[in-house]
A and B are shown apart, each in its own frame.
Chain A
Amino acid sequence: MGRYIAKRLAVAALTVFIILFVLFMLLNFMPGSPFNNEEKMTPEQIATLKAAYGLDKPVIERFFIYVGNMLRGDFGVSYNIQNNMPIATMVGSRLKVTLGLGLEAGILGAIVGNLLGILAALKRHTPVDTVATVIAVLGVSLPNFVFALLLSYFFGYRLKLFPLTFNPADPIRSSVLPVIALSMFTLASMERYTRSELVSIMDSDYMMLAESKGLPRRKLIMRHALRNALISLITVLAPLLVNLMSGSIVIEKIFSIPGLGTLYITAIQSNDYNVVLATSFIYSVMFVIAMLLVDLAYGLIDPRVRLAGQKG
């Protein structure tokens, strides 16, 4: 197990490094220059600015300087959004908001989706199952912004129950609609997967054997079906995390939430090279860490992985 963890950690670190390299190189081809008012500057002025920001050095060298700075927590400075503001400062509070939003939506979606899925599987071919299936199909198929617009129109604009845009003075009520809108895909996928996994487990040979022991249905489900279903659920967390991430960018924009996503969009629109690089990188790192945690959790829970190598 220790070796398994060490190996996964090493792979993750290498992946992060490669991602940073790829992003850095791609952005290096970004058209235009990061400086506004370029046309009003003389070539000498541009050269001085470039030298000041270290942009006159070869790409590879700049990459390693960047990595070195980053390891010390220095992501460089913003060029356009807020002049010369250190990116680390810009990102800090926003990251917390985004993580909070994602976590709340993820947990809400996972719990509700799971319960719905279990209910649907146990009440297979009944109206309960049909309703759950419809919710799942809608949630998986419709993009998050559809839910966001629907929720804010009815609960925000018409009923005036929740604010339409993020209100820093009332963070809890302001985050109800965004969290629900963002959780829909997770909820629906969880429902779907839990149901299909449970259904196929209920038809599996080992359930047939457990059933042939004369166990009451409740024990069959708790002891055999749910345990196996939940273990395999871990493997589908990956696409959900991806969706939470892309979803949070859209949701933050719609509800004007001061998170990483809005910063990302502003940076892209204002060609702010360093901020785009830093935020892209942070998103990637969040993704890699989440994958790593999923992998490790899977290793801890499933005896087939946990006990690998101890075959006797």
Chain B
Amino acid sequence: MAQESEVASIPAADFGFAQGHEEEAEREYANYSYVREIFNRFMDNKGAFVSLVMIVLIIVLAIVAPMLSPYKFDEVNSTRSNLPPRVPGLEQVGLFDGTKDGVNVYAEKGISEEYHYFGTDSLGRDIWVRVWYGTRISLLISLIAVVIDIFIGVVYGLISGYFGGRVDIVMQRITEILSSIPQLVIVTILLVALGPGLGNIVIALAITGWIDMSRIVRAQMLKLKNMEFVLAARTLGASWREIIFKEVMPNCLAQIIVTFMFSIPNAIFFEAFLAFVGLGVPAPISSLGTMINDGYKSAMVYPYMVVGPVVVLGLLMLGFNLFADGLRDAIEPNQS
């Protein structure tokens, strides 16, 4: 705040009209954008940032680990069955040193040059390789299924919301009935009917998972379709395709991405659930779900057989959930 003496001592020249300050006014809002704001809020969220690192790490390992390991995921070798984990470096500290009940099993079997980071299963397969191979399969199944169901959901929701009236009523009745059948029942029945298999799991997940997405997109459509910018496009003679895909859809993108992120862990869980029910991917392919299903019975005696897949599955689901949470909070900051 100006002080008396300060005010008195202002040079007279300063009381001329101001000139050349236009660009200062421009600068005010220059570094202020919607995407940047979302990005800032996302990065401010510790959980979201950690989850991003976690997801990237898991994906990298899923791709790289099986390639770098000397073992194959389906390489059966009865001489090295049920080996406990052994990790170079850590074994010096007494952790993961390949001992069970004080006996070094590796030395006992005469394979002390081998290292199985997560140990081996009852058929002598390397669990480390199997876990990352299984992660690939689990991720693949859920990603493809989610991409398909997002596509169906978005198109269904956009059409239902845009055309409204009788079309909307019929389409809404259909989703209402479909959503009143529990997803797990429909998925299992479909798989029972189609027979287990990687492709069939994807199909079963994709054709049951799109309902939430269609609801969200429809609600967004109903909200947006009477907004000025859409009305303006319509007066300019835009066709319904242009309005739906060029005007409305870009404005649903945030919600679509968030729902996409939430759908992935859900699909991962369903894959594991199917494995538990006995409808998982058939051997020799393995997924995280089938590995847990195979390992849980002996989990008390050989906990390491199930710890690996459970931890990776847990971290994946946790990571995607936290990531989606962070993204949602960054897009709609007033929710938390």
A–B direct contact (CB < 8 Å): yes
Interface residues of A (CB under 8 A from B): 15, 18-19, 22-23, 26-27, 29-31, 137-138, 140-143, 145-146, 149, 152-153, 156-157, 164, 196, 199-200, 203, 242, 245-246, 249-250, 253-254, 264-265, 268-269, 276, 280, 283-284, 287-288, 291
Q: List 7 A-B contacts (CB under 8 A).
A: A29-B193, A143-B272, A145-B296, A149-B306, A153-B303, A242-B183, A268-B279
Q: How far is the CB of B170 from chain A (nearest CB, A)?
A: 15
What's the dominant secondary structure at chain B's contact region?
Answer: helix
Total contacts A-B at CB 8 Å: 114
Contact A27 B192 (CB under 8 A): yes
Q: How far is the CB of B93 from chain A (nearest CB, A)?
A: 23
Question: Do A149 and B277 contact each other (CB < 8 Å), given the known contacts A15-B180, A141-B314?
Answer: no
Contact B336 A284 (CB under 8 A): no
Contact A153 B47 (CB under 8 A): no
Residues on the A chain within 8 Å of B195, using CB: 31
- In the assembly, what is the distance between CA of A30 and CA of B183, in Å? 19
Contact B180 A19 (CB under 8 A): yes
The total of chain B residues at the interface (CB under 8 A) is 40
Contact A287 B182 (CB under 8 A): yes
- In the assembly, what is the distance between CA of A253 and CA of B292, in Å? 13
- In the assembly, what is the distance between CA of A4 and CA of B216, in Å? 26
Contact B273 A265 (CB under 8 A): no
Question: Do A153 and B299 contact each other (CB < 8 Å), given the known contacts A141-B322, A246-B184, A284-B182?
Answer: yes
- In the assembly, what is the distance between CA of A205 and CA of B126, in Å? 60
Please name the residue on chain B nearest to A164 by beta carbon: B300
Contact B322 A280 (CB under 8 A): no
Select which of A27, A203, A254 is within 8 A of B193 by beta carbon. A27
Residues on the B chain within 8 Å of A29, using CB: 193
Q: How far is the CB of A32 from chain B (nearest CB, A)?
A: 9
Contact A140 B321 (CB under 8 A): yes
Please name the residue on chain A nearest to B301 by beta carbon: A157
At the interface, yes or no: B188 with Cβ under 8 Å from chain A? yes
Residues on the B chain within 8 Å of A18, using CB: 177
Contact A142 B193 (CB under 8 A): no
Please name the residue on chain A nearest to B325 by beta carbon: A137
Contact A269 B318 (CB under 8 A): no
Question: Do A268 and B192 contact each other (CB < 8 Å), given the known contacts A145-B276, A149-B310, A291-B180?
Answer: yes
At the interface, yes or no: B278 with Cβ under 8 Å from chain A? yes
Contact A249 B184 (CB under 8 A): yes
Contact B181 A250 (CB under 8 A): no
What are the 5 tightest A-B residue pairs by CB atom distance, in nearest-first order? A141-B318, A141-B321, A246-B184, A157-B300, A269-B278
Contact A276 B277 (CB under 8 A): no
At the interface, yes or no: B260 with Cβ under 8 Å from chain A? no
Question: Do A242 and B310 contact each other (CB < 8 Å), given the known contacts A27-B193, A137-B318, A253-B276?
Answer: no
Contact B182 A15 (CB under 8 A): no
Contact A30 B193 (CB under 8 A): yes
